[in-house]
Amino acid sequence: AQSVTQLGSHVSVSEGALVLLRCNYSSSVPPYLFWYVQYPNQGLQLLLKYTTGATLVKGINGFEAEFKKSETSFHLTKPSAHMSDAAEYFCAVSAPNTGGFKTIFGAGTRLFVKA
């Protein structure tokens, strides 16, 4: 079975500061890992994904995440926050299941960016 834990339901950073959103997962099989972002009144948008290969993955809008198997973590970072990054972020794990890939989501972390 898979599960995802996001540490911190709310994170506040100043514009220009480092963004770090934490995610730990549990999976009985090699997982596929995702970060999604949801802007107000919009759907879920894929930021980045890890499947196999390089453990540091880069996504859109300057975000990146590193898969650390030993720590079962997939934290999301961005060197310099922008006001437009204010949104809710979801970490998710997916694994083969009965012919498909059921995705398990974390509870979400709402990012606030202060001017």
Which residues make up the interface to another protein (CB under 8 A)?
32, 36, 42-46, 49, 51, 90, 94, 96-108
Nearer to another protein, 90 or 113 (CB): 90
Does residue 22 contact residue 6 with C-beta atoms inside 8 Å?
A: yes
16: Cα within 13 Å, side-chain hemisphere: 1
- Shortest CB 83 distance to another protein, Å: 23
Task: Give the H/E segment covering residue 103.
Answer: strand 100-105
Q: Which is nearer to another protein, 15 or 88 (CB)?
A: 88
Residue 49 Cβ, how far from another protein at the closest point, in Å?
7
Three-class secondary structure of residue 113 per DSSP: strand
